[in-house]
Each structure stands twice: as C-alpha cells, then as structure tokens.
Amino acid sequence: MTVGPELKQFRIEVSEQRVLHLIFDMPGRSMNVFSNAAIEELGRFADWLRQSDVAGVVIRSGKSSAFCAGADLAELETAYDMIMAAPSGERDRLAFDHFFRLSHGLRKLETAGKPVAVAIAGLALGGGCEFALAAHRRVIVDHPQATFGLPESLVGLLPGGGGTQRLPRLIGMEAALPVLLEGARLAGQAAIAAGLAHELVAPGEEVAAAERWVLSRPQATQPWDRPNWRAPDAERVSATIGEKRSKMLAETLGHYPALSAILDCVEHGLPQDFDTAIRTEMQIFAKLIQRREPRNMIRTLFLGRLDHERLKKKGMNPKITEAVASVSNVLGVQSERGKELSEAFARAGFRVEQTRKVEFDGRVAGAVYWHDDEPRTWGKELLRARLADAEVAAAGWRSQLDESERRAADYVLVTQAGFPAYLGGLFAAKLK
C-alpha cells in the first residue's frame, strides 16, 4: 500500500507502529542537497502530513556520507541569473518567491500537528541543518562526522531557510552567532550542552531512538509556538548585535555584506513572532542574493575549492601555479612600498604584511566596491590601475586554462596569495 505523496528525492517507509520514516535519498547523487525538486517535494509532504493519520515522522538520510550538505549551488547560480535578468523593480519579489519555498515548507512541517524527530548520523550543513532545526527532536550520533553547521556566511550568503531565527531561539543569541557568522560547527556533547540536540547515541542507534520518542506521544509544538514564549535574550538584542557589528566591521572593513545581513536578521527577527521573523529573514536574503559578493565567493571558495581538490588528485596543471604567480607579481601587494597604494591594498582587504592595523573608515560596501566608491583618493586611483594591469595579465592566461582550472586558479589566488574573497578572483571572470 502506498502511503503519502509520490516522491523521488525522498523515500517513505512506515513502521508497524504507524511511524512514518521520511528518508532523504536523492537518486544519482552521493550526497543530499536541497535542490528545487527536493524543496517542492518537502512542501507537498508537509501538506499531506497535516491530514494524515500517522503517529509521527522520523527523518533520516539514505546516504552514508551525510544527512544533507545544504543547497544545490549550481541551481542557485541559475536562479541568480533569472533574478538579475528581470527588471530591477521585480527582482526583490522574484528572489523572495523563489527562495522562500524552503522556509515555507519547513514551517508547514513543524506546524503539521505531528511529532517530527530527525536522526543525524552525518553532516547536517546549511539547508540540512535548517531541516533538522525544524524537527521537534534532534537525535545525533556520537561521531565526529555528525555535526550541525550553517556555513552560508563563508560563501557570502545567509541561512535563508529559517536558520537565523530558529538557531538563536533554540540555543541563545551568544551561542548562535559564531555558528551564523563564522561557520562554527557543533557536534556530540557540545550540541547537547548548547541545546541544539536532545539525545546523543552510539552510531546505529539514532533511528530507533528517534522512533521511541515519536511513540512516546510528545507535544508536537516548537518552543516559539507555545503561548507566551519569549526569546531568552530578546531584551538584549540591539545592544548585543551593535557590539558584534562594530567588532565585525573593524575586522572585515565592511566588504562582506552577508555578515551585516545576518546580524540584521537576528536583530529584527528575534523580537518578532516566528512567521513574521522568517519573512523578515527572506526579505533580507532577497536583497543579499542580488549582490556580486555571494556569486564571487560561491564561484571561488566553493566551486573553485572543489575544482582544486579534484585537479590535485589527478595531477594539477602547472600552468595554474604559473598563472597565479604571474598575476600576483603584477599586483605586487607584498612588494609595494608606496604609502598610498599599500594602504589602499590593506583597506580593500588584500592580505598585507604591515605592523599597523587598518582602521575601518565607516564606509560599508554598497552598490560598488570600496575602491570604486566615493570619496575618490589617490590610493584608490593607484589600486584601480594596478587591478586593471592584473586583469590584463589574467586575461592572457584564460585561453590556456579550462573553466575548472580558471576557478581553481582563483581559489589559489584568494586562499594562498591573499586576494580578497569578496572580489572572487581574476581568472574565471572579470572584476564586476
């Protein structure tokens, strides 16, 4: 007998006790990610769950590698192109409608009136972590590979599936911010101590433990949906966020808008009721996704890293190293002795060896990068000229490298040669 809606990215099994197992198991993939198809199926499942007669749900992975590694970034790039091709006045709405589907599906899941437990035996990152946060109970195995994390900030994004709202409500703002801003991960006893996971079990026992909880007839309600619930540190939100924002801007010099956007999500969303808060989160996400920095960082720090690792295994093309060295020499960041240009390199976020720390001048990157913004200075003029020379040098190498090699070269340029991640590199695409 078929139970539930027809699904392809998930499998459904039902135990003798009427506990439904929703198994995330994307066909043809070694690791689960939240593709458009998976998001659509999750929403349909949540709609079906509300009117079903199952005792509850255990969510688990059908992959041995991980629970879920996050979003399908290739599809995200396609969505970016679709949004940016639209008239400017329609982009906010298009971005909101496209990306809110995951948040909406998770919200329907946690409010369907059935107890939902998740069994985590591997990585639960990004959208995978947000999926787990929407369950009423989280069981995690005692193994280093079983970790929760929201690493979106590391590629210029923010968790747009409710992560900026559920995490601080569960573990408190102070504990949540390192996870949201720095990509910190929580596993094992640390996840239990933080209040992120409810039960720690030996590998192989997580599914049975989750099912036992479902059969105990627990309350199928999230803490924030209970009457009179209030975030424990709601009264300190503005003061705490203001302090974190000042520290962050002093360290990043305003070049990484995702960090400010995450702080905005927490500051504005935490005092709100949950349904309003996740819409606030998505409104901020919809603005962020239209910026250049996320696309640059995804291309270089995610896709470029994967390309670099793959090429390293099969034998790296020596031209990649030569190309990076050539462009680095043209930039001359470390060899520059002129005061104005050295200071401009440092203020623009290049890795510069100098004794005096760069002071944040209060200017956060807006529609243009810092070096293209007002006020015009001689240092910025020199930096733009040097970047133009470096682009010419990089263009000379593009025809000698294939697409994956160009991304790998950018990854090396950023991670080893000190080129700013928010600019993305010079080989895969021109600076925009």
Catalytic residue numbers?
71, 127, 130, 152
Contacts of 341 by beta carbon, 8 Å cutoff, 6+ apart: 379, 382, 383, 386
* Alpha carbon distance 76, 99 (integer Å): 9
Structure letter (DSSP) for residue 362: S
> In terms of C-beta density within 10 A (0-12 exposed, 13-18 middle, 19 or more buried), how is residue 57 classed?
buried
CA angle 245, 249, 252 (to 5 degrees): 135
| Cβ atoms 5, 45 nearer than 8 A | yes
Provide the 3-class DSSP secondary structure of residue 139. Answer: strand
In Å, what is the CA distance from 261 to each residue of 160, 258, 274, 284? 11, 5, 18, 6
- Cα–Cα distance measured from residue 217 to residue 369, given in angstroms and rounded to the nearest whole number: 55
DSSP 66-130: EEE--B-HHHHHHHHHHHHHS-GGGHHHHHHHHHHHHHHHHHHHHTSSS-EEEEE-SEEETHHHH
